[in-house]
Amino acid sequence: MRILLVGAGGVGAAFASIAARRTFFEQVVIADYDESRAQRAAAADGRFTSAYVDASDAQSVTALVREHAITHVLNAVDPRFVMPIFNGAFAGGADYLDMAMSLSKPHPSQPHSRPGVKLGDEQFELADQWEQAGRLALVGMGVEPGLSDVFARYAADHLFSDIDELGTRDGSNLTVDGYDFAPSFSIWTTIEECLNPPVIYERDTGWYTTEPFSEPEVFDFPRASGRSSACTSSTRKCC
């Protein structure tokens, strides 16, 4: 396995430090628009090399895939660059994994009642091309919906005989000394998730949207967690 890691920021550097302790791959090419940052991340292991890439240009990604005989592209940059990297990986003949998805766009005239372009729609439209080429693309494999979906499926297959509902809720007391607010991923994604109309799916009505922060959800934590409390979510969102 020969991996092209696009992005040597916080997420990409974390991947590099973990991959350095693994043996399943032959080489990792760490590429970034700021090649000095890629070089710092690549210093962690002799199997790593660094390169320059323009993540907004699919041909730049394709060229690296072909130059280094890459088999798998890992996208670790801002979601704005998903489609160029996604298309560049396909054109180069590599499989693909990202932690975000292609961006959503509100409905042009009824954003608070009808969905426009949903997260991942642009990628899903190309699913047949990937399948016909015999290639694999795993999209949205961040914490949620990706990792939480893996956990949910494992629970359904191995831990419970019946499941009535699966809900994913996250929170953190993460602090960064000296900063009142320090998101652990793209600030633009954080803003988008707060201000975009929440996309909701109901079995009887299908997809629809509401105004941001319009439907608070109150729930009790299970007693098995050690205490019972309540939490209000600002948006409901189905990915």
Residue 232 lies in a domain: no
Residue 59 lies in a domain: yes
Count of domains observed in the chain: 1
Residue 41 lies in a domain: yes
**pLDDT confidence tier of residue 232, bands split at 50, 70 and 90:** very low
What average pLDDT does the segment 38-58 reach? 96
What are the residues whose beta carbons fall under 8 Å from the beta carbon of 9, sequence distance 6 or more? 32, 37, 76, 77
The CATH code of the domain that includes 68 is 3.40.50.720
Residue 196 lies in a domain: no
Q: Residue 68: is its pLDDT beyond 90?
A: yes
Residue 126 lies in a domain: no
Structure-model confidence comparison of residues 225 and 233, the more confident one: 225
Structural domain boundaries, residue 53: 2-100+135-143
**pLDDT confidence tier of residue 5, bands split at 50, 70 and 90:** very high
pTM for this model (two decimals)? 0.84
What average pLDDT does the segment 164-177 reach? 78
Residue 10 lies in a domain: yes
Whether the Cβ atoms of residue 235 and residue 213 lie closer than 8 Å to each other: yes
Residue 150 lies in a domain: no
CA-to-CA distance for 21 and 170, rounded, in angstroms? Answer: 28
> Which percentage of the chain shows pLDDT scores above 70?
91
Residue 121 lies in a domain: no
Predicted pLDDT of residue 216? 77
Strand partners, 157: none
